[in-house]
Amino acid sequence: MVDKFPIKIFIDVEPESFKTGNKKHVTEDFVAENFKKINWNVFRPFNDTGIDLVITKQVCSKDFLHTKYNENLTSNCEVCGEHSITIKRFIQVKTREVKQNIIGYTFSTKDFSTDPRNILFLYSDHTNDFFSLSIYDYLNFFYENNFASRFTLYFNTPDDKRNTLRMKTDDNSWSYLGKSWEKFRNILGVENFQHRDFDMNLKEYSKIIKNLKNKMFYTFRPCKPFENLTTTQIESIQNKINSDYLEKDKNKYLELVNLYVNKMNSLDRNIQNSAIKYLEHCKELYGRFKS
Amino acid sequence: MADLRVKSISYKLISEGFDIYRTDQQNEILINKHCCADCKTSWNTDITECYFCGTINPYLYFCKNCNIFTSTKGGKKECKECNTLKQKICFNDSCVTNSEEFYNIFNINLKNYEGVMSRESPCTVSQTYCFNCGSTNNINLAVIVRIIELNFNEKITISSEDLRFDYIIFTKKEKKEYFICKPSEYLINKKEKFIDKLEINKMFLDLSI
């Protein structure tokens, strides 16, 4: 059984040989092969999806700690004899080169599903380090450390680049704005997302993640194009966000869908057709247009 | 097992909106559906909404002068009636970005994008609620499936190794006939029925979350 993770699996080539334009395939393969080495089943996308790999393994159903990070149960648990269950993790890989001991990366809002099994995965190819955080842990890290302000209205803009994951060279440790990321690194990172009850309590975690997103994403702190807004204007916009979005329930959201469909149906047929082309793959919504 | 048939079935599922993942094993796939945690309707992260009020992006231009929406495809960025620049605004009249005080700030005064709902705007977010039931929770529903192509007159057999799969799809060589079963259930009831439809959605509806 392999007891080191990750290992330099492609012994004939150095990561430095690849540049931004041609490293995606090799780095994702590197991550996939490393997970195979520690006995995860690895699935790679056959079509273009937002997830780079899905990994699964059999673990003890009674106590997750009974199954080691590099172990896959083929029968009952050796510690307690209980049967095994399959756990799944959905991994999105971002490979970044360390520059001046810093890793920069960007996520967009589409990366923040409310599935706790989604893993945001950073691979520092030049130092051979993996950082893996479930969406829940990632958001919680920012929330608990009062870094929530780093999340508002910065998505899709260059300002969203996060340049604060830093390696300390004297003790080879990693931290984000001074808070340690060691528990998300390499073996500890895998243990951290493997030894969790996410699979058993999906809906509960999903709700918690949505609450964290609401608290962090929807506190209006304007970015550069809007930096001239006055405090009063910011307060007024925040109040509207609260009433128009945050304080809505399921039925109110459905009213928004109805508003959208009715207004779209009131437009000229050609204009409507051009707009709803973007929704073709969204069958339930697409089916509601008169065209 | 012909890899071609696994590919063929995989493409069929992709055409129906599922995501397919493959392992090193030729006849093993993982089918994933990103969906609402409450009603299992598909979740589409490519569709964007207004950050401020949650209204779905209309993907249209609007001319404030003439008060008309036009297509974003092929046309000019200027209104053909009044020649002023059009904007990609929020579709919701009562959204804060359409208010008198903020309309220009979010839609007109910005050099680098064409309004609050433009692709470059920081004010759009990926889908946040279900368009079918309004739930704000979304998850991945994934099943691990083995695909077995049966030769003419070949009988169904399930091995103990097959029990690790959530489902098995049996299909007949060169025929569009399918039988989907949970291996453990099949071992008990031994009932089989081939039909001419690949009812994958039914498989997902049966899954508990």
Domain holding B169: CATH number?
3.40.1350
B58 plus B35 within the same structural domain = no
How many whole angstroms from its chain centre is CA A6? Answer: 20
CA distance A67 to A75: 12
3-state secondary structure string across chain A: CCCCCCCCCCCCCCHHHCCHHHCHHHHHHHHHHHHHHCCCEEEEECCCCCCCEEEEEEEECCCHHHCCCCCCCCCCCCCCCCCEEEEEEEEEEEEECCECCEEEECCCHHHCCCCCCEEEEEEECCCCEEEEEEHHHHHHHHHHCCCHHHHCCCCCCHHHCEEEEEEECCCCEEEECCEECHHHEHHHHHHHHHCCCCCCCHHHHHHHHHHHHHHHHCCCCCCHHHCCCCHHHHHHHHHHHHHHHHCCCHHHHHHHHHHHHHHHHCCCHHHHHHHHHHHCCCHHHHCCCCC
Greater pLDDT, A160 or A67: A67
Tokens of A249: 């329930």
pLDDT digit string, tens, across residues B7-33:
999 999 999 989 999 999 889 999 999
Q: Report the range of poorest mean pLDDT among A93-97, A201-205, A229-233.
A: A93-97
Confidence of residue A151 (pLDDT cuts 50, 70, 90): low
Structural domain boundaries enclosing B76:
48-126
Q: What is d(CA B200, CA B209) in angstroms, rounded to the nearest whole number?
A: 17
Number of independent structural domains in chain B: 2
Does the pLDDT value for residue A5 go beyond 60? Answer: yes
How far apart are the CA of B28 and the nearest CA of chain A, in angstroms? Answer: 9
Which position has the higher pLDDT, A23 or B98?
Answer: B98
Q: What is the mean pLDDT of chain A?
A: 89
CB nearest to A237's CB, from B42, B96, B209 = B96
CA distance, residue A73 to nearest chain B CA (Å):
11
Q: Is B23 helix (H, G, I), strand (E, B) or coil?
A: coil
Last residue of a domain, one of B126, B148, B167: B126
Mutate to test the interface with A, among B4, B20, B30, B98 (most CBs of A within 10 A): B30
- Look at residue A111 and tell me whether its pLDDT is greater than 50: yes
Residues B70 and B87 in one domain: yes
Interchain contact, B47 vs A282, CB within 8 Å: yes
Residue B68 pLDDT: 94
Residue A34 has pLDDT above 50, yes or no: yes
Last residue of a domain, one of B126, B159, B187: B126
The residue of chain B nearest to residue A207, with distances taken between CA atoms, is B137
Rounded to the nearest angstrom, the minimum Cα separation between B1 and chain A is 18
A271: number of CA atoms within 13 Å, CB side?
Answer: 15
Establish if B132 belongs to a structural domain.
no
User: Which residues of chain B lie closer than 8 angstroms to A33, CB-CB?
Assistant: none
Q: Which of B103, B126, B149 is the last residue of a domain?
A: B126
In a domain, residue B131? The reply is no
One domain for residues B38 and B96: no
pLDDT at A1: 67
Interface test with chain A among B3, B20, B137, by most A beta carbons within 10 Å: B137
Which of A154, A260, A264 is facing B122, going by the closest CB pair?
A154
Whether A158 shows a pLDDT value over 60: the answer reads no
Identify all chain A residues contacting B42, using CB atoms and an 8 Å cutoff: 282-284
Amino acid at B193: K
To test the contact with chain B by mutation, choose from A49, A117, A119 the residue with the greatest count of B C-beta atoms within 10 A, namely: A49
Shared domain check, B167 and B65: no
Question: Is the peptide bond preceding residue A116 cis, with omega within 30 degrees of 0?
Answer: no
Say if residue B38 is in the same domain as residue B54: no
pLDDT in tens, chain B (209 residues): 568 999 999 999 999 989 999 999 889 999 999 999 999 999 999 999 999 999 999 999 999 999 999 999 877 889 999 999 999 999 999 999 999 999 999 998 877 789 999 988 888 999 999 999 999 999 999 999 999 999 988 999 999 889 889 999 999 999 999 999 999 999 998 899 999 999 988 888 878 77
In this structure, the answer to whether residues B121 and B54 fall within a common structural domain is yes
- What residues in A contact B59, CB-CB < 8 Å? 274-275, 278
Q: Indicate the helix (H) or strand (E) that contains B170.
A: strand B167-172
Facing residues of A94 across strands?
A122
In a domain, residue B28? The reply is yes
Give residues with Cβ within 8 angstroms of B84, minimum separation 6. Answer: B63, B64, B65, B78
Contact across the interface for A253 and B134, Cβ inside 8 Å = yes
Evaluate whether residue B170 is within a structural domain. Answer: yes
ipTM over 0.85: yes
- The residue with greater pLDDT, B88 or A150, is B88
Helix (H, G, I), strand (E, B) or coil at B180: strand
